Amino acid sequence: AVFKPENVEDFYELGEVLGSGHFGQVRQVRERASGTSWAGKFLKIRKNACSRLGLDRSSVEREVEILQAVQHPNIVTLKDVFESRAEVVLILELVSGGELFDFIAEKENLLENEAIDFMKQILKALTFMHSKNIAHFDLKPENIMLSDKVSPHPNIKLIDFGLAHLFYQGEEYRSTSGTPQYIGPEVINNEPLSTAADMWSIGVITYILLSGLSPFQGDSDEETLKNIIAMKYEFNARYFSTTSSMAKDFIEKLLVKNASERMTAEECLLHPWIKPITRKQAANRNRSSINMKN
Ligand SMILES: Cc1ccnnc1
């Protein structure tokens, strides 16, 4: 793929750093022609295959290809791509509401209902991506952002498709990258992966959203990975006493060792926790609150 060879600064004024990660850094940028603000993701490209620093250009091409394939209201949109000798710059929709977990932490009494509203949006994005045989493979609280901080029902935006993968028919794909707390057993065991790996991460994220605890986290990454392989997690009564049984059932149907037995994103949207079958169930859900003691 050929990206724009022009200098990104001829078209965008660089602003503050919004975040940085394994890839490089994200800065707020202002489009000179329109004054509109965007997010510029500056990716360092390695000069030759031997060098350790920077990303392979092909992996950047993959991220661009995937972002162009997944246009959805709950997924960050890609507007432009510039390339200089040593870096590629993705011009992305500016998502300025911060991370989902910061939003939850700041709120007062957050009902399960609001958690469900967020989860529904995440599941709609995943249903869309998975229907195109695209897996995110790095779902975690930092990559679930809010469109803005002001509206009472902010929109969810999935970001960072740097580890995402488009599955070709019958193709086998293995990878052991991802963040220990959120990866499934099949990732740790370097087994062939599928979109079901994202659903394990959704189980972990839901558990944290409702309790503030991370289900498998140990004192080290090694211990965390051991806990995942051993399926060692519990709903500690001190943190889950106010959590509805439907919420626990939702999590239990995602934290399943056998990836093919996990709920898909589509099935999650039909689960009674997300889609109540009776008015009584909906009322019951309202009485449950997110644990904010810790
Ligand atoms: C961090 C970030 C990424 C993409 N868009 N806005 C903000």
User: Which tens digits make up the pLDDT trace of 209-252?
Assistant: 888 889 999 999 999 999 999 999 999 998 898 899 999 999 99
Set 56, 138, 148, 219: catalytic member: 138
Q: How many Å from the N-terminal Cα to the C-terminal Cα in the chain?
A: 48
Which pLDDT value is given to residue 293? 44
18 lines ligand 1 (CB under 6 A): yes
Mutate to test the pocket of ligand 1, among 12, 17, 18, 147 (most ligand atoms within 8 A of CB): 18
Q: Is the pLDDT of residue 70 over 90?
A: yes
CA distance 4 to 84: 9
Mean pLDDT, range 102-113, rounded to an integer: 69
Does the CA dihedral 149-120-293-229 come out positive or negative? negative
What is the share, in percent, of the chain residues with pLDDT greater than 70?
95
Beta bridge partners, 289, equal: 111
35 contacts: CB under 8 Å, gap ≥ 6: none
Output the six-digit token pair for 95.
């998502």
Name the least confident of 46-50, 82-86, 156-160, 166-170.
46-50
Q: What is the mean pLDDT of residues 101-110?
A: 65
User: For 72-78, which contacts have Cβ atoms below 8 Å and span 24 or more sequence positions?
Assistant: 72/124, 72/125, 72/128, 72/129, 73/155, 74/121, 74/122, 74/124, 74/125, 74/155, 74/156, 74/157, 74/158, 75/125, 75/128, 75/129, 75/157, 75/158, 76/39, 76/145, 76/157, 76/158, 76/159
- pLDDT for 218 equals 97
Would you say residue 109 has pLDDT above 70? no
138 is catalytic: yes
Whether the CB-CB separation of 165 and 129 falls below 8 Å is answered with: no
Closest residue (by CA) to atom 7 of ligand 1? 95
Q: Which one-letter amino acid corresponds to residue 182?
A: Y
Closest by CA to 164, choosing from 81, 63, 274, 96, is 63
Q: Using alpha carbons only, how large is the chain's radius of gyration in Å? A: 20
pLDDT at 239: 87
Statement: residue 101 has pLDDT above 80:
no
- Neighbour count for residue 120 (Cβ, 10 Å): 16
In the prediction, which pLDDT does 151 show?
Answer: 82
Rounded distance from Cα 145 to ligand 1 centre (Å): 8
Mean of per-residue pLDDT scores for the chain = 91
Q: Residue 174: pLDDT above 70?
A: yes
d(CA 119, CA 237): 23
Q: What is the pLDDT of residue 163?
A: 93
Say what the ipTM of the complex is.
Answer: 0.94
> Could you tell me the two tokens for 30?
């202002």
**Does any ligand 1 atom lie closer than 6 A to the CB of residue 39?**
yes
Check: pTM over 0.80? Answer yes or no.
yes
- Lowest mean pLDDT: which of 107-121, 175-189, 193-207, 258-272? 107-121
- Pocket test of ligand 1: the residue of 16, 36, 76 to mutate, having most ligand atoms within 8 Å of its CB, is 76
- Compute the average pLDDT of residues 163-187: 95
**pLDDT bucket at 184, cuts 50 / 70 / 90:** very high
pLDDT of residue 4: 96
Place 287 in a pLDDT band, splitting at 50, 70 and 90.
low
